[in-house]
Structure 1
Amino acid sequence: MKGFLVASAFFLASVSSIAQLPPVFSKEQVSQGTETVRRYLSPARIVWQTPGADSLIVNAKRLLLPGNGQADLANNNMCVIKSKGAVHPALLLDYGRELHGGLQIVTGMYPGNKPIKLRVRFGESASEAMSDVEPEHNATNDHAMRDMIVQVPWLGKLEMGNSGFRFVRIDLLDDNTELQIKEVRAIFTFRDIPYLGSFSCSDELLNKIWMTGAYTVHLNMQDYLWDGIKRDRLVWIGDMHPETSTISAVFGYNDVVPKSLDLSRDITPLPNWMNGISTYSMWWILIHRDWYLHTGNRKYLDEQKEYMIKLLQHLSKQIDENNSEKLDGRFLDWPSSENTKGIHAGLQAMLVLALKAGEELCTVWGDKATIKVCNDAISRLQKNIPDINRSKQAAALLALAGMIPAEKANKEVLAVDRAHRFSTFYGYYMLQAKAMAGDYQGAIDAIREYWGAMLKLGATTFWEDFNLDWLPNASRIDELPLPGQKDIHGDYGGYCYKGFRHSLAHGWASGPTPWLTEHVLGVKVMEPGCKVIKIEPHLGDLSFAEGSFPTPFGVVKIKHTKKPGGGISTQIEAPKEVSVVDANGKKLILR
């Protein structure tokens, strides 16, 4: 319940404010509440109703009041909707924030005493909820039903839907009919878990971005760790890397991570690639390395050994006589998918990153033979540095793999045109490479420009894709486009996410959340199980940053304040089991 209170506070927060930082919870509380719960929420406002039908829709504001989900015989203060002739009235409701779940409709004692037919449309944007399933703007029912015809009972209730949405349109379909409605409440389905990690600084936009990334991933922590709650309700293992980084920074251990990692392993016999994509099998290795660092769970790591070693051996053979990768299933992210040279450079770097992570894990196991296999393959790959071809994705990966100087990658590619040509998925690695280059201020500015632009368009979760070139004359997602405006949701997108099929709550876009925790708050795990944590803040133009970081032993609290002379004053509280060191490895005296 306490986790829900945090999520509800964030849900109810106005666009110009952020939620209160969550309280600290005990280890016992952290292990509880991992399964999904349901809470019911009334709409925040009525966005639209059928023009000219005012006399046919009476007391619609009744729907904004809190409800109890119970039909009753009092039948007081009902919202009345009538159809007359060719006019079939409709309402568009806004629940204030992206949610995962469905809808509950509670009815009254309307004339006729029979079920009434309604059309219900869910939407992540106001315009999506107004759309038909059609090819022009690509509104679909893929993965989750968002457009349906239902019958509601007389003096009863109906629950329906299982999707990601913020808006709901309801149309009365029966002719010459009166419907009385008591409540139309969203069914909010989520994991009731506490936000153990936190972040607050002198810039409210960055605070909101950190929390929005956290909330986006929280919504996707359903039966498994999904990529999207409307579309892509699937386990895409590569997309999980930013998500698991966010989970480690915000929630600490959660069983949705190993459950999803194991699903991908168990349905992908070698030599197949996870999700049919070679990089996704490589991301599986990187996630396991990072997850072990955070949890220190050797037993779980050992369960991966047999599959991991065979995968590493298979990867080591994906090199030709010119020391060039020869992988199939070639994919980095969608925006880079037409840059053939950039993909090759990125794959060359990904292979090095995966083999390095594998070498680290094999060191834990003492597997000298596989360590040699990894090192030999890395040595060969490092002899061939492919053409980046202006790809920010490739530049970031090559820098992170140590194959080109991070400063060069940043100056010549990443910093060019600021956050233009960033992507929601690989933006995380672009930020990481900028940090490696020492360009912390540039990364902070990119977060404000790129992810901040989504918030300015009404986003409450981060999107599957976003392009700064979409901004001119674009509508907000919480408003219906005006004549002459571009619909930011229906008119844009590409590849598998054209138009309204585009997911507006995609966990792979949460990268700024773990990045701000790692580089501004300055928290980096140095030994498995968070037994040693390095604190090295980079405030840039911020006057202070504070927050918390979850470990298996409890929460570490940190506060940095910039001194008038330019130095930083730091206060830290940590569990006794966690050793905290500075940038030079010197153990810090805790408060």
Structure 2
Amino acid sequence: MKKDQTVNLKYAVVIALLGFMLFSGTAKAQKASWIWYPGDYEVWLSNKMQNRRTERGTFLPPFWKLDSHYVLMNFHKDFELAEPEDAKLYVEGQHNISLDGTTIRGYPKTIHIPAGKHRISLKVYNQANVPAIFVQGRHLVSDTSWLVTCEDKEWIDASGKTSDVSATKYLMAGSWGFNDPVVLPSTYHLPVEPKKAVSIDEKPHHMFVDFGKETFGYIKLNGIKGKGKVSLYFGESPNEATDTARCELADKVDIDQRSGDYTFNGSRAFRYVSIYYDDNISINDVSMLYEYSPVKQRGSFRCSDEEVNKIWDVAAYTLHLNTREFFIDGIKRDRWVWSGDAYQSYLMNYYLFFDSPTVTHTLLALRGKDPVTSHINTIMDYTFYWFLGINDYYQYTGDKTFIQQNYPRMQSMMDFCLSRRDKDGFVQGQTGDWVFIDWADGLSKQGEVSFEQILLCRSLETMAECAKLAHDSTRAVKYAQIAAYLKAKIFSYYWNDQKHALVHSRIDGKPTDNVTRYANMFSIFFNYLDEAKKQDVKKYVLLNNDVPKITTPYMRFYELEALCAMGEQSYVLKQMKDYWGGMLKLGATSFWEEYNPAKSGADVYAMYGRPYGKSLCHAWGASPIYLLGKYYLGVKPTSPGYKEYIVEPNLGSLQWMQGSIPTPNGDIRVYASTKVIKVSADDGVGTLRFKSKTKPVCKQANIVSKDDNVYELQIQKGQNLVVDYNAM
């Protein structure tokens, strides 16, 4: 690079990546796509999506600060061509373009580029939408190797010379892979497909429509004619759809047409729709346009228990319904991007879709822009879940680039968190903070809650690892030291030997006697407890009915994970069948935001002081996908991106099970019965670990005996292993 082409990049890793950004005329170019400043499209689209929420015609925006995209963007690319070529240009916004420092007049749709080394630059302004470009040449194409900045920081001296060294910080462009130049990113929407109703009960000027299961989309009135009003009342239950005064979602429209079809503009969640229309209106039929995310289901699970199979299927459908432009909480009420809900969706996604883009899109949308003025979603624990989501993303995908590029946003977010610690180094709710933890009656959020300290500690450990990936060794040491110091203080201040557990909180510097499940169960799967403390927590907290029970699928997720991590798969399977099976027995076709077996009748739908306030399709209800994949089939990465992994089947009380776990480069397939284990994998090196009463046999690999009837063998790419054993 010449001196006047030098860019001052903050991180050495980005400089190293520049080597891949130059290509010759003989190099293989990526496919052209629309590109923009990384994270801006996610911020813009999430704003657009989250502000669609209405309740009975009333607009309900999110509770938290919404950021916006940068309105002026500089795109550039250094490249070399072996021969001349023409490149077509498409731009969202007002723009100018220069080649090798010379501005090209006007707004050319095609530019001619001679052979040789060049720099192309485009400045794009767009207040309404995200500044974006699409460049299509034979070799020069817009892709994520382009550099972008929101402030070029150039200056001009009295002679008119432009500075040759600047403080500009460039990032690699963002993209969602939109590769049609005439379809603008600002017009993006999810696909739809027609769906018929299962039944329509018609009465004079009224239709009660059942679509058979929970769904999401746009109601379509087919063959409607006449002039008058049509009113729609949506319900996830028959009770809700028929309670026209109190159902959560309702639409009204004035119709004036001779004949034809009418599709409502607003997408809605429902199973049932009650439709009322004026005397001089007639409707032939009712259908819908089902709106969905085009993610592909890659994971699978089947076992000897048909109820568990049904639970897995309904969980998969629940997660798919809540996988939209981003991972959202629930399709009926909020339709917002909540960090705590999304964190669980990421984990379930790794065992069902392994759709990395939806994970990164959601992480970027949640983070927003600097400066940081509040916790994510205003919730302290949700900020910590955001850090944990990044840690898990790297472990499952091995994507260093995402970590390195977004490390500055992680750093400023953590700086905000650390600035709000008290004199003892703990965090507690301050003015404007929402300490959520869980929906639980009587749960104290006062003082220094042990659960929040556990999440902060794990977040600091995440920061230490990400700092290493970003080659920030100084802060890597700093974060690791703070985490170690905090962990020691947590167990010094909160562990109660008489209670055999971490107590819930400290108030005015004194620990309370109250024991809850939250900090204790997280300490198990974070591996913060020694074996003796783990057994204490299992006996005196997780299996103790005197400790307040958890009634939301949200925290049941973590409670059951902790028990699975302790080898309690048989107990967890019974809990899963009682809890999720209980919802199925009440007619659930997707899993709920909250389920309390003690409730009955109309109370099962009530929440937030409203008779139908509860979401009957909530992402955090789909956790069996994760539990069955990670702790029954037993598959998880042991190095980033499944380069190494473990398969540790645990049948619990099942007679057999089989399934497929998606990874970045193929699938891992597992079958296990009480007599045989079969494993094959498309990539990586794995370890199969299992217990057997008798000496196992495998013709394809050597079995190594460990202590306590534990055996291991190595799984190589492309192998089909068959192990004869006797399950314990």
* TM-score interval, smaller chain: 0.7 to 0.9
Give 1:327 deviation, angstroms. 4.4
Aligned to 2:715: 588
- 8 Å contact kept, 2:227–2:255: yes
Aligned partner of 1:461: which letter?
S
Aligned to 1:335: 440
Aligned to 2:544: 416
Instruction: State the Cα deviation string for residues 372-428 of structure 1 (Å, max 9, x = none).
Output: 332332223433225133423333223334445333222222223499524211111
Aligned to 1:349: 454
- 8 Å contact kept, 2:426–2:448: no
- 8 Å contact kept, 1:463–1:503: yes
Structure 1 residues 285 and 107, CA gap change in structure 2 (3 angstroms): same
Aligned to 2:519: 394
Hey, what's the Cα distance between the residues in 2 that align with 1:408 and 1:283?
Answer: 26
Aligned to 2:374: 272
Aligned to 1:487: 602
Aligned to 1:92: 208
Aligned to 1:195: 297
Give 1:233 deviation, angstroms. 0.9
Q: Work out which of the two has the higher radius of gyration on C-alpha atoms and give 1 or 2.
A: 2
Give 1:149 deviation, angstroms. 3.9
TM (normalized to structure 2)? 0.63
Structure 1 residues 464 and 334, CA gap change in structure 2 (3 angstroms): same
Structure 1 position 102 matched with structure 2 position 256: no
Aligned to 1:38: 192
Instruction: State the Cα deviation string for residues 422-466 of structure 1 (Å, max 9, x = none).
Output: 421111111111122222222222111111111111111111111
Mapping for residues 427-438 of structure 1, pairs under 5 Å: 427-438=556-567
Structure with greater helix share of residues? 1
Mapping for residues 338-377 of structure 1, pairs under 5 Å: 338-340=443-445, 344-377=449-482
Mapping for residues 373-388 of structure 1, pairs under 5 Å: 373-378=478-483, 379-380=485-486, 381-382=489-490, 383-385=492-494, 386-388=502-504
Instruction: State the Cα deviation string for residues 243-296 of structure 1 (Å, max 9, x = none).
Output: 111111111124222112111112563252111111111111111111111222
Structure with greater strand share of residues? 2
Instruction: State the Cα deviation string for residues 71-115 of structure 1 (Å, max 9, x = none).
Output: xxxxxxxxxxx4xxxxxx42322111111111111126xxxx633
Structure 1 residues 226 and 317, CA gap change in structure 2 (3 angstroms): same
Aligned to 1:524: 636
Mapping for residues 203-242 of structure 1, pairs under 5 Å: 203-242=305-344
Instruction: State the Cα deviation string for residues 354-383 of structure 1 (Å, max 9, x = none).
Output: 222222323333433223332332223433
Hey, what's the Cα distance between the residues in 1 that align with 2:565 and 2:415?
Answer: 29
Hey, what's the Cα distance between the residues in 1 that align with 2:465 and 2:556?
Answer: 25
Structure 1 residues 251 and 421, CA gap change in structure 2 (3 angstroms): same
Hey, what's the Cα distance between the residues in 2 that align with 1:342 and 1:573?
Answer: 50
* Equivalent of residue 273 in structure 2, options 160, 164, 168: 168
- 8 Å contact kept, 2:521–2:562: yes
Structure 1 position 450 matched with structure 2 position 579: yes
Hey, what's the Cα distance between the residues in 1 that align with 2:345 and 2:477?
Answer: 31
Give 1:152 deviation, angstroms. 6.5
Hey, what's the Cα distance between the residues in 2 that align with 1:107 and 1:284?
Answer: 48
- 8 Å contact kept, 1:197–1:249: yes
Aligned to 1:70: none
Report the count of equivalent residues.
486
- 8 Å contact kept, 2:428–2:447: no
Hey, what's the Cα distance between the residues in 2 that align with 1:369 and 1:585?
Answer: 39
Hey, what's the Cα distance between the residues in 2 that align with 1:391 and 1:234?
Answer: 29
- 8 Å contact kept, 2:299–2:352: yes
Give 1:338 deviation, angstroms. 2.9
* Equivalent of residue 232 in structure 2, options 106, 115, 120: 120
Aligned to 2:555: 426
Aligned partner of 1:535: which letter?
V
Aligned partner of 1:363: which letter?
K
Structure 1 position 155 matched with structure 2 position 252: no
Give 1:151 deviation, angstroms. 2.3
SS in 2 for 1:340: coil
Structure 1 residues 342 and 535, CA gap change in structure 2 (3 angstroms): farther
Hey, what's the Cα distance between the residues in 2 that align with 1:392 and 1:170?
Answer: 45
- 8 Å contact kept, 1:336–1:393: no
SS in 1 for 2:493: coil
- 8 Å contact kept, 1:118–1:152: no
Structure 1 position 287 matched with structure 2 position 389: yes
**Which blocks of at least 5 consecutive residues in structure 2 are unaligned?**
1-176, 180-187, 495-501, 505-513, 690-710, 721-728
Aligned partner of 1:362: which letter?
A
SS in 1 for 2:340: coil
- 8 Å contact kept, 2:191–2:293: yes
SS in 1 for 2:248: coil
* Equivalent of residue 654 in structure 2, options 538, 542, 556: 542
Give 1:182 deviation, angstroms. 2.8
Structure 1 residues 316 and 375, CA gap change in structure 2 (3 angstroms): farther
Q: RMSD across aligned C-alpha pairs, in angstroms?
A: 2.7
349-358 or 226-235, which deviates more: 349-358
Deviating 4+ runs (over 6 angstroms):
31-35
Aligned partner of 2:248: which letter?
T
TM (normalized to structure 1)? 0.76
Instruction: State the Cα deviation string for residues 293-312 of structure 1 (Å, max 9, x = none).
Output: 12222111212111112333
Give 1:150 deviation, angstroms. 4.3
Hey, what's the Cα distance between the residues in 1 that align with 2:449 and 2:338?
Answer: 21
Give 1:32 deviation, angstroms. 10
- 8 Å contact kept, 1:253–1:552: no
- 8 Å contact kept, 2:648–2:688: yes
- 8 Å contact kept, 2:234–2:248: no
Hey, what's the Cα distance between the residues in 1 that align with 2:189 and 2:253?
Answer: 30
Give 1:488 deviation, angstroms. 4.2
Give 1:527 deviation, angstroms. 1.4
Instruction: State the Cα deviation string for residues 24-75 of structure 1 (Å, max 9, x = none).
Output: xxxxxxx9999622111111134x66xxxxxxx4xxxxxxxxxxxxxxxxxx
Structure 1 position 461 matched with structure 2 position 567: no
Give 1:231 deviation, angstroms. 1.1
Aligned to 1:503: 615
- 8 Å contact kept, 1:44–1:95: yes
Aligned to 1:315: 417
Aligned to 1:67: none
SS in 1 for 2:449: helix
- 8 Å contact kept, 1:35–1:192: no
Aligned partner of 2:255: which letter?
Q
Aligned partner of 1:40: which letter?
P
Hey, what's the Cα distance between the residues in 1 that align with 2:624 and 2:545?
Answer: 19
Structure 1 position 140 matched with structure 2 position 244: no
SS in 2 for 1:191: coil
SS in 2 for 1:335: coil
Give 1:313 deviation, angstroms. 3.8
Instruction: State the Cα deviation string for residues 500-543 of structure 1 (Å, max 9, x = none).
Output: 12211111222221111000011111111121121001111101
Q: Alignment identity in percent?
A: 26
SS in 1 for 2:645: strand
The higher-RCO structure (CA 8 Å, 6+ apart) is: 1
Hey, what's the Cα distance between the residues in 2 that align with 1:106 and 1:311?
Answer: 51
